[in-house]
Structure 1
Amino acid sequence: MTHLVRRAAAALAGLALLTLSGCAGDPPDPATRPATDGSGHDVGVQLFSWTWDAIADECTSTLGPAGYAWVLTSPPQEHVLGEPWWTAYQPVSYELESRLGTREQLSAMIATCHEAGVDVRVDAVVNHMTGQDAPGTGWAGSSYEHYAYPGLWAPDDFHHCGLTANDDIAVYLDRAQVQTCELLNLADLDTGNPQVRERLTAYLQDLLSLGVDGFRIDAAKHIAADDLAAILAPLPDDVAIMQEVIRGSAEPITPQEYVPLGQVYEFTYGKELAGMLAGSPGLALELGQAAARYVPSDDAIVFVENHDTERNGSTLSYQDGPTDALASVLMLAGAYGTPQVYSGYAFTDTDTGPRQDADGRVLDATCVADPAPTTPVTDGDWVCQHRWPQVAGMVGWRGVAGDAPVVDTGPRATRSLWVGVGVRSSSSTPVTTSWSRR
């Protein structure tokens, strides 16, 4: 038997019955959630490429009632024009105008989500600007050149590393290249420059003025930890920080360097979880426990997939159907890290962006009435993984379990697993969610 300890010790009270080929499940009785002390209310969801209006509606209709604690949005700043999803990750200015909505719509969404009990965290691109060699005009009409953004940045505000033939990163074992050369031709900001730091801080503070609760720092690995610390230092202490630092074999830059600044995404978790599901799913509950290759649990954001990994094949994706759902179930049942559920759209071409109107505005996301891992989807359809009954049910289950310990696990039937957690309130009502083979 496996013994996993959380912060509180108590007797057995709930069971989650999990199978490798799970196809069906029901959320726990809403009357039993969330935990009265909020200890299990920690799950976030990345609504990738969702518009501000659609997120507002989802906070009210689904996220709040299901027990999600926070939502992560796509980048909100002005960006280059084009259909692909990655245009959002090439800033032109820090005006809060994008194909996902206006500043006013963003502000209204934040207020609506707060009313529903859901915090809002924003994907912040502060490492670089565009990767376009030719001059252009951004979404909100701002003109730009690769290293010149009128009223914002001049050529001297960028790193020009001079370490490779084209200034692009060539060797990830070289710290200087990773943090001063360009990632795929993206103009790399000189974050060691005090004026650059101040302007980036001002962008984050502008978002905070609208009520944003935290940030995902995109490409944090490509910003020296000391530089990022200086950018974040003026922000209030209660702002949630989640940093994208991808661990690489033998690379000198590690997630541990960034832990003093906030939480980091533990990419190793999703990669190893995918491999475990083919053999011993019970071991997934131990992922991250006392492992030197992981950051401490309190410092980790864990995920099954995100917008990058579902495209590069390093983790599971919606295309794995029930296995993808099971991975999320195990993540939500486990004790390691803060879980982030992912929800995106179907695609064949990995560059393809979300569905847009004739003017390039992203269309509001719509979910079918009862989305499930086996629901057929075609390119552009919103998959709505966060609404899958297995996933939404486990968000509620986690909310009831709170900090109660996982006291035991064991086999229940062929290719199945049960998880028992300790009592965390005076209620003796068991919370049971099951998935059966079909």
Structure 2
Amino acid sequence: MVTRCNAAGVKVYIDAVINHMTAADAGSGVGSDGSQYDSRGKYFRGVPYGPNDFGRRCKSASGNIENYNDPNEVRNCDLLGLLDLEGGSPYVRQKIVDYFDDILDIGADGKKMAETFLAGRLTLNTLSNVQSWMMLSNEDALVFVDDQNKQREAPGNGHSITFKQSREYKMATAFMLSWPYGVPRIMSSYDFKDDWAGPPPASPNQAGLCENGWICEHRWRQITNMVEWRNQAGNTPVENWWSNGNNQIAYSRGSVAFIAFNNYDGIMQTSVTTGLPAGQYCDIISGDLLNGTCTGMTIAVESDSKAKLFIDGSSQDPIIAFHLGSKVSNGSALPVSFSNNSIAGTTSSQPANITTSPSNEENTIVFIRKITSYGEKVFIRGGYGKDMPIPIKYPYMNLQTLKRKAWYQAYRDWSQGDTELSWDGAENGQGMRNGEKSLGSPMLWTSSNSGSNEYVPENTFGDHYWMWEVTMDCSKLPGGYFEFKGYSNKDGYESNVRQEKCLGETTSYGKYPINHVAKCGHKTVVEWGRGNFCIMQRI
């Protein structure tokens, strides 16, 4: 097996238990390699070990650890009846060395003998000094977030993060892969309810699927892409460390790769130095770079190497990461300019300097983040210029999906007969919900939490994001841009905003309008009443 793995470039590490042998009451028999043992007599002839090679310093009455707060018992007595080796004996130590030499001669790449665990909730701010915590040198350390043993520990102080806490697990794994220490090991496991449960009988399937009870952490996009991030970073040092002192950090690996974390419950919105050259980069946490185009969020790095970041701490993936290999080559934004004397529904000057325009109908999504009270509904109103509504269609498959959940009913009913985005509220003939008229084009409260009933895969940002999804003809909009505002059944119009350049755009909007700006064929994300937060992602 080791020879075949080495030939395929797969490293083999031995998980070695060297502090004890089998249980004292295991009896006698023959081991897997044919050697005889007698646990009651403390004879293991394959080593060989005899009675004098086991713990002689234990002071407990049973010979087992009876008081885990007594360091002498923990060091010198049997753990759960397992025969504790006399670690202070030169003979025992030499036999352990011989064992490891034999393992290395077989062709194994390394061994895991001991583990160091950090108990409690660490703050991200302290991680800049993580190197000083390490007990082993960089070249000797095998680092990991969890293993098969730690997965099965009962929750409590110091228990490991596992796939069952997927949000924290992805954050921990991303940090492990981004920090230049040790050889990282990625876990790939299966689901279980009982600690003793074995693996599922069927394979997890191919083509990136993970089924039949398998978890396949190594196939999660966030983890798979962070492996490439680490490969890109190579041996470059940690630079451009940034922390706000409140569980929000960012750093680069030289001028090759950059990552940011938000472990705070609120929003992380800041401009930081990335160390990377100017350009558009694909955030490899929220998407993939396919044929030069990013399926997730795109980050603009300016000529001074700075980038504006927005990370919602309530999202399932409160991380942004990119590297030189994730630089976007397609889908750059078009320049656009607006006047600043607009009112809701009126723009006196249309987008200028247009060189090309998108064509044909394309899927378009708008998210407005607004924390609402019970019974509150949010709608979107907008258009292109004064009294110029935009023809829209609600995706057929989307409506079919909405019919399956009662929570979607109002959105579904109000979207019937809604054929244009305008500033006028409901259209003649637009659907009603229990006799209540729509107040514009309906939006839907969504969550990025896959376990929530309100989860939609298009939302990768967090809770409280009201979503509007339609198709529209981008060729009818110069540059593909249009203006909009949110409208609530409790608050009416949101206040005027002065929208700055969106993340994912290469230029600002010149003279700011007082409405939000979105782009056809894109996912646009804004916050109610704020103009200094905006994200645009190509769909």
TM-score, normalized by length of structure 2?
A: 0.41
Greater relative CO (CA pairs within 8 A, separation 6+): 1
- Structure with the higher helix share, 1 or 2: 1
Between structure 1 and structure 2, the one with the greater Rg is 2
TM-score, normalized by length of structure 1?
A: 0.50
- Structure with the higher strand share, 1 or 2: 2
